């Protein structure tokens, strides 16, 4: 361990693009920094990786500290390592995106010790971001655009029980385009991974829609087959 590592002062951090979906809007969690560098700037939540935690563990911890939630769906997607990306030294940052259900009952209030404030901000109205976080965000958004076509990640952004219209909204906002209602439903239902709960939405004005849930078992059975949502 001695002579080989490390060759110079360096460290690694995790940065998270935390996507949340609420009433038709795609948002991410941003913090307002309370420390130099980039004091008072908006930034992606992130932190230094600790000695005794893997990258995935670190990402979970950071997200838990920020939201109080555990078991959030996360995926590592790229590592940013330009020499001067951090003004205080060599910091290589491993980027994760996370997907979670906002809205409804639990009204997720982000809490943060290391930031002035944390807010959910619509991806279409982002402020300037610290460091290379704009780039990290853009690559993250690109990733989920690709991945939503082949993997069932849309469901992570919705409550357990959801309507087909809500599901369609997720696809529309992530792909930034309108989809045809009939074709969308036909295709989604044709995979056989949505379970009709024979239950209706509650507390909406106007006609209530049928609730569905994502059937992970049936989806697991399909595996191997390339699905194209």
- Using the rule CB under 7 A, is 209 a contact of DNA? yes
DSSP H stretches of helix in 148-215? 164-175, 181-190
Q: Are 123 and 35 in contact (CB under 8 A)?
A: no
Number of H helices, E strands in the chain: 5, 9
Stretch that binds DNA, among 103-111, 129-137, 183-191, 216-224 (CB under 7 A): 183-191
Give residues 210-229 in contact with DNA (rule: CB under 7 A): 210, 228
**Distance from C-alpha of 47 to C-alpha of 67, rounded to nearest angstrom:** 14
Residues forming beta bridges with residue 53, ordered by sequence position: none
Q: Where are the beta strands (DSSP E) in the chain?
A: 10-22, 25-33, 42-43, 46-48, 73-80, 90-101, 115-122, 194-200, 210-214
Q: Which is nearer to a second copy, 79 or 117 (CB)?
A: 79
**Minimum gap (Å) between residue 163 Cβ and DNA:** 5
Q: Could you tell me the smallest distance in angstroms from the CB atom of residue 212 to DNA?
A: 9
72 binds, among DNA, a second copy, none (CB under 5 to 8 A by kind): none
Question: Which listed residue (18, 91, 115, 211) binds a second copy by CB under 8 A?
Answer: 91
Tell me: does residue 9 bind DNA (CB under 7 A). no
Residues in contact with 138: Cβ distance below 8 Å, sequence separation at least 6, in sequence order: none
Cis peptide before 26 (omega within 30 of 0): no
By CB under 7 A, tell whether 150 contacts DNA: no
Residue 183 binds which entry of a second copy, DNA, none, CB below 5-8 Å type-dependent: DNA
Structure-block tokens of residue 53: 């935690």
* Of the residues 23, 40, 50, 160, which one makes contact with a second copy according to CB under 8 A: 50
**Among residues 1, 125, 183, 203, the one that binds a second copy under rule CB under 8 A:** 1
Q: Which does 90 bind (CB under 5 to 8 A by kind): a second copy, DNA, none?
A: a second copy
Return the residue of 23, 34, 48, 210 that touches a second copy, per CB under 8 A: 48
* Nearest-angstrom CA–CA distance, 46 and 115: 11
Contacts with a second copy, residue ranges (CB under 8 A): 1, 4-12, 48-56, 76, 78-79, 81-83, 86, 88-92, 94
């Amino acid at each position: 361990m001695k002579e080989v590592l490390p060759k110079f002062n360096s460290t690694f951090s995790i940065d998270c693009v935390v996507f949340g979906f609420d009433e038709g809007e795609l948002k991410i969690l941003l913090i307002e920094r309370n420390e130099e560098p980039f004091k008072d700037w908006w930034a992606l939540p992130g932190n230094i990786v600790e000695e005794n935690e893997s990258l995935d563990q670190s990402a979970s911890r950071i997200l838990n500290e920020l939201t109080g939630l555990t078991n959030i769906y996360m995926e590592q997607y790229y590592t940013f390592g330009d020499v001067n990306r951090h003004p205080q030294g060599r910091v290589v940052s491993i980027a994760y995106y996370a997907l979670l259900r906002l809205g409804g009952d639990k009204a997720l209030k982000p809490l943060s010790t290391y930031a002035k404030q944390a807010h959910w901000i619509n991806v279409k109205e982002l402020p300037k971001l610290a460091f290379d976080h704009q780039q990290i965000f853009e690559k993250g958004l690109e990733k989920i655009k690709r991945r939503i076509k082949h993997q069932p990640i849309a469901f992570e952004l919705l409550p357990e029980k959801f309507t087909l219209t809500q599901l369609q909204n997720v696809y529309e906002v992530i792909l930034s385009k309108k989809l045809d209602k009939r074709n969308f439903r036909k295709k989604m239902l044709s995979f056989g991974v949505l379970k009709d709960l024979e239950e209706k939405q509650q507390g909406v004005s106007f006609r209530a829609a049928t609730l569905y849930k994502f059937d992970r078992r049936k989806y697991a059975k399909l595996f191997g087959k390339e699905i194209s949502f």
